[in-house]
């Protein structure tokens, strides 16, 4: 199961998993029929991930088709808002899609996975979830929460057969990066500090990471270096981020 599969990283993941022999279910706000049409036996579903009921209905429908879900990839995400003064609706939607959807899916999937001692939960967070997002507070906070939830899941259930991976890319050539959203506007920042990868390249790295059962999947290796720097000297890190913001966004 891959959510947010109508395009970008999600559709690339679905294609890569299918190429490896998986039976795939693709889900998005509008059913990704065009992607599924290229993948023999794939199922495309329309889903509202902003509610627990929508996540439950999605998993119920997928299990009706294939019986069980071995790997659930919570990839769907939104880039909304900029700062604490934004409307509550933007904050609520950001956390519902970027974080709570992961929790709601896990609540529905965990009982069966723990009973059989096997299951794989993967999620797309962001380098912003490990570092910080220049431009959007709702995106940065909700992605931090997504990383924390994946980490908690691995710590808590890893000894009971649950495998967990968390994808944290930097710049990827998707509609989100190229949009006028605060995160998209931050694309100038992303391009100034690293390579922008194609979704298919990220999907290959993810496939290798899941095959190796790695928790943290970093398509941009420099993110690991940034994370070490941030941990070793937080004040210097913040000062550097302030300078980067002034240089790229002018404030």
Residues catalogued as catalytic: 139
Q: What secondary structure letter does DSSP report for 119? A: E
Q: Which helix (H) or strand (E) holds 16?
A: helix 8-19
Residues 6+ apart with CB under 8 A from 52: 100, 104, 107
> How far is it, in rounded angstroms, from Cα 127 to Cα 237?
15
3-state SS class at 146: helix
Q: Angle, nearest 10°, between helix axes 199-211 and 8-19? A: 50
| Cβ–Cβ < 8 Å for 49, 43 | no
Spatial separation of the C-alpha atoms in residues 185 and 179, rounded to whole Å = 7
**Are the beta carbons of 44 and 36 closer than 8 angstroms?**
yes
CB atoms within 10 A of CB 70: 12
- What DSSP state is assigned to residue 170? S
Structure tokens at 110: 């965990």
Which two three-digit tokens encode residue 193? 């500090």
Q: How far apart are CA 104 and CA 101, in angstroms?
A: 5
């Amino acid at each position: 199961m891959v959510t947010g599969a109508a395009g970008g990283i999600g559709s690339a993941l679905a294609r890569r998993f299918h190429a490896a022999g998986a039976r795939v279910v693709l889900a998005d706000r509008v059913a990704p029929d065009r992607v599924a049409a290229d993948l023999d036996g794939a199922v495309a579903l329309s889903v509202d991930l902003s509610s627990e009921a929508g996540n439950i209905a999605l998993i119920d429908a997928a299990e009706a088709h294939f019986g069980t879900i071995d790997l659930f990839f919570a990839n769907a995400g939104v880039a909304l808002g900029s700062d604490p003064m934004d409307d509550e609706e933007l904050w609520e939607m950001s956390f519902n899609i970027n974080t709570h959807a992961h929790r709601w899916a896990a609540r529905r999937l965990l009982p069966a996975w723990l009973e059989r001692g096997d299951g794989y939960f993967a999620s797309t967070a962001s380098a912003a979830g490990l570092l910080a997002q220049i431009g959007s507070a709702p995106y940065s906070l909700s992605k931090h929460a997504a990383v924390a939830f994946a980490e908690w899941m691995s710590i808590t259930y890893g000894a009971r057969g649950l495998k967990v991976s968390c994808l944290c890319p930097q710049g990827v050539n998707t509609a989100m990066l190229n949009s006028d959203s605060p995160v998209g506007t931050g694309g100038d920042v992303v391009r100034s500090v690293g390579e922008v990868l194609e979704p298919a390249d990220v999907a290959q790295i993810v496939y290798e990471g899941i095959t190796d059962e790695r928790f943290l999947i970093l398509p941009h290796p420099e993110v690991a270096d940034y994370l070490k720097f941030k941990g070793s000297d937080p004040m210097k890190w913040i000062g550097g981020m302030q300078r980067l913001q002034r240089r790229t966004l002018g404030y």
